[in-house]
A and B are shown apart, each in its own frame.
Chain A
Amino acid sequence: MKSNMIKKILKYVLIIFVAALFFFPIYWMATMAFKPFPEWTAAGEKLYWFPEQPTLDNFREIFVRRTDFKTDISSTATGPIINSLIISSLGTLMAMVLGIMAGYGISRYKAGGQLPFFLLQLRMFPPAAVLIPVMIMWAFLRMVDTWYGLAIIYGVVTLPFSTWLMKTFFDDIPSELDEAAIVDGCSSFGAFLKVVLPLTKGGIASTALFVFILNWSDFLIAFILTDRKWGTIPVYINKLQSATVGQLYGPKAALGLLAAIPPIVFGIMIQKYLVRGLTFGAIKK
């Protein structure tokens, strides 16, 4: 029995070790966000594991442009934050509307032929490979660096997730309910709208949050399709890097910390469905 105890303790130590490894980078960012300039880099001397003089300067820097740092970007972080919010939400809206309908069609009528698998294939293409023509189209239609230009692409790029996820949620609801509604006099669309849809409210919310997280986290597409006017948070963080005064660890960490909040909060809220979402419904807990 003693060897059992030792095994258990060793396992627990291992878990603590791994959790610490996973947490450390986040810890580093969180503490960096509150470190004043002198504490950013050790410059050969000591490394600050914990901010000795915690400050809100970094936050101030990204929201109120200050000249001390001589940053050469002309905007504050407020813009990108709002941009991210707007574009991610709209992209989510589009993906949800299209996905809910398509998901229902696939679930109930097996419609769309190869659509479901084409959507999966879509996820496999590196965006960089397929974005040129979109760029050209958008440039032609003057949709580059606009909120709607990016939002539409977000809607399409996350469509596979919204479609597959909603399909699994619709699958969970027995089709007898639809048929009962139709027998009672509803049209097929009415049955969908008034009977099935309300029952999938939870699934819709979780899918929407999931898609939002994906849009919020995107960098490459926004990088290619937006710039100064409608750049999102990741684009802005990337730009902060090309400042003249070395690397702006503090402000970037501050912004990174803020940007991390929605995904973490939403992620905890939809914990139950994370596996389902990330595996396109292939695995349901």
Chain B
Amino acid sequence: MSNQDSQITHTKQLDKGRLGLFFTLPAQTALLFIVVFPLLASLYLSFTTWSPMTGRGTLWYQAYQFWAWFSNYWNIITDSAFLLSLVRTVIIVVVVVPVELLIGLGLAFLFLEKFPLKKLFHSVILMPMMIVPAVAGFIFYMLFQSAGPVNAILSKILFVEITTPWLTGSVTAMICVMLADIWQWTPLMFLILLSGLMALPEDQLNAARILGANWWQRFRMVTLPLLKPVIVIALILRGMEAIKIFDAIWLMTKGGPGTATETISVYLTKELRYLHWSWVATAGVIVVILISFASIHALKPIKEQEEQT
């Protein structure tokens, strides 16, 4: 009797295994061809110096003719343009993400209470997120012209004629680029944190109130610990996307003035247009390796949450 039972469960599990495979196979196949295979090709190219220019007349898989071992890697790791673009990317992410978090958190707190036209304001605050990022870049380009509205408003407030050429100064261009990202993505943080705040157990906060805690004490000792999981997820997700920042920068400054706002994506795109394909392949491999390491660490919280359910 028991033998039969175990046979039945065994086939059921087999079935389940096969079925599961059936469902995920299409996606995995697509990824295999469109992600894995190209990554391998990239790896191959990175060991060569092939490009449409140098390799005129040959096809890419004949790039072995231009074998260069690790010279690309060595050159890239010591290339100041590449390294600086990484640094600039990190600077932007490190500034932009916490700012978005803080403003989003503040806004979320404001939205906990009732006030007139709340729904309207809620929709307005969400709008920046819905604007095509390239278009957002263009809008900010218009806004920060030296004769544009930003300078006009600043002039009125400060009673001094302000004509800063925002987009042509290195530091100011950086600021503009950061402002564009903050404008576009703070609403996301706001949304996430608002849902986190609304899910807070009210009883715990009431208990803290009765025990004499004032607003700040409640925030620090009760609210923040409860919000931590949400904040972590928000930071990770936003960080993930911020690394790739490109659209707005390209439309605003194209990485300029000079290379002042050249992030890794901008750098790679420029190199692509110069047809330095194997160079970009190498850079791509390095970036992928770096991010893979970072992602294992960063995605741990999400993994843990999944395994809990």
A touches B in complex, CB < 8 A: yes
Chain A residues positioned under 8 Å from B234 (CB to CB): 279
A136 touches B295 (CB 8 A): no
**Which of A53-61, A62-70, A102-110, A197-205 interfaces with chain B?**
A102-110
A28 touches B34 (CB 8 A): no
B195 touches A283 (CB 8 A): yes
Residue of A11, A99, A126, A233 ringed by the most chain B CB atoms within 10 A: A126
Chain A residues positioned under 8 Å from B127 (CB to CB): 22-23, 26, 264
**Which of B2-10, B67-75, B183-191, B218-226 interfaces with chain A?**
B183-191
B269 touches A223 (CB 8 A): yes
Q: Does B292 reach chain A (CB closer than 8 Å)? A: yes
Q: Does A278 reach chain B (CB closer than 8 Å)? A: yes
Task: Check A105/B123 contact, CB under 8 A, given A219-B246, A223-B269.
Answer: no
B17 touches A220 (CB 8 A): no
Chain A residues positioned under 8 Å from B233 (CB to CB): 279, 282-283
Q: How does the 8 Å CB contact mask read for B8-29 relative to A, with 1 for contact and 0 for none?
A: 0000000111011111101110
Residue of B37, B131, B303 ringed by the most chain A CB atoms within 10 A: B131
A132 touches B295 (CB 8 A): no
In the bound complex, CA of A102 to CA of B128 (Å): 32
A105 touches B22 (CB 8 A): yes
A105 interface neighbour in B23, B237, B244, Cβ under 8 Å? B23
Q: How large is the interface on B (under 10, 10 to 19, 20 to 34, 35 or more residues)?
A: 35 or more
A101 touches B23 (CB 8 A): yes
Chain B residue nearest in CB terms to A101: B23
- Write the nearest CB–CB distance from A277 to chain B, whole angstroms: 10
Chain A residue nearest in CB terms to B109: A11
Q: Does A186 reach chain B (CB closer than 8 Å)? A: no
Chain A residues positioned under 8 Å from B124 (CB to CB): 19, 22-23
Q: Does B115 reach chain A (CB closer than 8 Å)? A: yes
A219 touches B34 (CB 8 A): no
Q: Does B211 reach chain A (CB closer than 8 Å)? A: no
Residues from 20 to 44 in A contacting B, C-beta threshold 8 Å: 21-26, 28-29, 32, 41-44
A132 touches B138 (CB 8 A): no
B26 interface neighbour in A22, A97, A135, Cβ under 8 Å? A97
Q: How does the 8 Å CB contact mask read for A154-187 relative to B, with 1 for contact and 0 for none?
A: 0110010001000000010000000000000000
B246 interface neighbour in A14, A128, A259, Cβ under 8 Å? A128
B287 interface neighbour in A47, A129, A155, A275, Cβ under 8 Å? A129
**Which of B94-102, B142-150, B200-208 interfaces with chain A?**
B142-150
Q: Does B39 reach chain A (CB closer than 8 Å)? A: yes
Q: Does A85 reach chain B (CB closer than 8 Å)? A: no
Residue of A42, A124, A171 ringed by the most chain B CB atoms within 10 A: A124
A128 touches B268 (CB 8 A): yes
A121 touches B292 (CB 8 A): yes
Chain A residues positioned under 8 Å from B140 (CB to CB): 25
Residues from 106 to 147 in B contacting A, C-beta threshold 8 Å: 107, 110-111, 113, 115-116, 121, 123-136, 138-143, 145, 147
A249 touches B30 (CB 8 A): no
- Write the nearest CB–CB distance from A285 to chain B, whole angstroms: 5
A224 interface neighbour in B16, B130, B243, B272, Cβ under 8 Å? B272
B147 touches A234 (CB 8 A): no
A29 touches B19 (CB 8 A): no
In the bound complex, CA of A279 to CA of B301 (Å): 13
A159 touches B30 (CB 8 A): yes
Chain B residues positioned under 8 Å from A263 (CB to CB): 130-132
Q: Does A18 reach chain B (CB closer than 8 Å)? A: yes
Chain A residues positioned under 8 Å from B15 (CB to CB): 188
B230 touches A283 (CB 8 A): yes
Spell out A's residues near B (CB within 8 Å): 8, 11-12, 14-16, 18-19, 21-26, 28-29, 32, 41-44, 47, 49, 94, 97-99, 101-102, 104-106, 108-112, 115-137, 140, 152-153, 155-156, 159, 163, 171, 188-189, 192, 213, 216-217, 219-220, 223-224, 233-234, 237-238, 241, 247, 249, 252-253, 256, 259-260, 263-264, 267-268, 271, 274-275, 278-280, 282-283, 285
17 A-B interface contacts by CB (under 8 A): A14-B110, A22-B127, A28-B149, A108-B20, A109-B19, A111-B20, A115-B24, A123-B241, A124-B294, A132-B284, A137-B38, A159-B31, A216-B132, A223-B269, A233-B132, A237-B135, A278-B237
Spell out B's residues near A (CB within 8 Å): 15-17, 19-24, 26-28, 30-31, 34-35, 37-42, 45, 59-60, 103, 107, 110-111, 113, 115-116, 121, 123-136, 138-143, 145, 147-149, 152, 183, 186-188, 191-192, 195-196, 198-199, 230, 233-234, 237, 240-241, 243-244, 246-247, 250-251, 264-265, 268-269, 272, 277, 280-281, 283-284, 287-288, 291-292, 294-295, 298-299, 302-303, 305-306, 309
Other than the given A109-B20, A249-B142, 13 more pairs (CB < 8 A) read A29-B135, A119-B31, A125-B288, A127-B244, A127-B246, A128-B272, A137-B41, A163-B27, A220-B246, A234-B135, A253-B138, A263-B130, A278-B191
